[in-house]
Amino acid sequence: MAKKQEKNIEKARGAVETKVDTSSWLPKTGLGKLVKEGKIKSIDEVIEKYKILEAEIVDSLIPIKSDLLNIGQSKGKFGGGKRRVWRQTQRKSAEGNIPTFSCLSVVGDENGHVGLGLGKAKETLPAREKAARKAKVNVIKIKRGCGSFDCSCNELHSIPFRVEGKCSSVKIILLPAPQGTGLVIGDECKKILRLAGIKDIYSKVFGQTRTTINLAKACMDALGKLK
């Protein structure tokens, strides 16, 4: 059953707008109650003044799109399996091997707001749901602009200045690019930048970049400095 669910998710890959019905949501925090009552209507005000503890707060304020990053690898000859969204690990016990699935989700509104979350569970779908909720709780606001000397427009298509991000051995440098350049970066970081609303960028990456989790966290670290 889990394999069938995994195959269906693999087929439906790509950034998908997730519409969550918050009419039956019962907020547990003071911030959630203010959002539910309509006293706070701006996600920027929430990010600047409060700490988000409920994913429904983000669902109520902005239209969210989500995507999954390839952090695992299926079994193949000589370690050449296909990259996939699930990372499976096992621990030994007296009853046998107990598997755990990890999933890395990225959410954003393609308008300067983006979040990243890692979820772990014994099944694939609960891991994906945990990752999506954590990504919404970790949403940040980034500053976009046009900082390239080759481009003199005032549109929000790139970043205003050079930034660096680091996680473990992975270091990433993001550089502003002129219009039409596209996202000159790895495929997994492209998903993060697209959901953040960035269309043109140059990049340099150092370290063990095949560790996708560290690469994604380094990219988010760099974007977090665009404030």
Domain ranges, residue 14: 2-69+100-141
- Asked whether residue 137 falls in the same domain as residue 180, the answer is no
Q: What is the pLDDT of residue 1?
A: 44
- CATH code where residue 125 lies: 3.30.160.20
- Asked whether residue 22 falls in the same domain as residue 117, the answer is yes
- Asked whether residue 58 falls in the same domain as residue 104, the answer is yes
Of 140, 105, 96, which is closest to residue 126 (Cα–Cα)? 105
Q: What is the pLDDT of residue 124?
A: 92
Q: What is the pLDDT of residue 173?
A: 97
User: What pLDDT digit, counting tens, does each position of 114-146 carry?
Assistant: 999 999 999 999 999 999 999 999 999 999 999
93 inside domain: no
d(CA 165, CA 225): 8
Looking at the 3D structure of the chain, how many domains does it have? 2
- CATH code where residue 175 lies: 3.30.230.10
Q: What is the rounded average pLDDT of the residues 207-227?
A: 93
User: What pLDDT digit, counting tens, does each position of 59-78 carry?
Assistant: 999 999 999 999 988 877 66
The answer for residues whose C-beta is within 8 angstroms of residue 138's C-beta and 6 or more apart is 52, 115, 116, 117
- Asked whether residue 124 falls in the same domain as residue 174, the answer is no
105 inside domain: yes
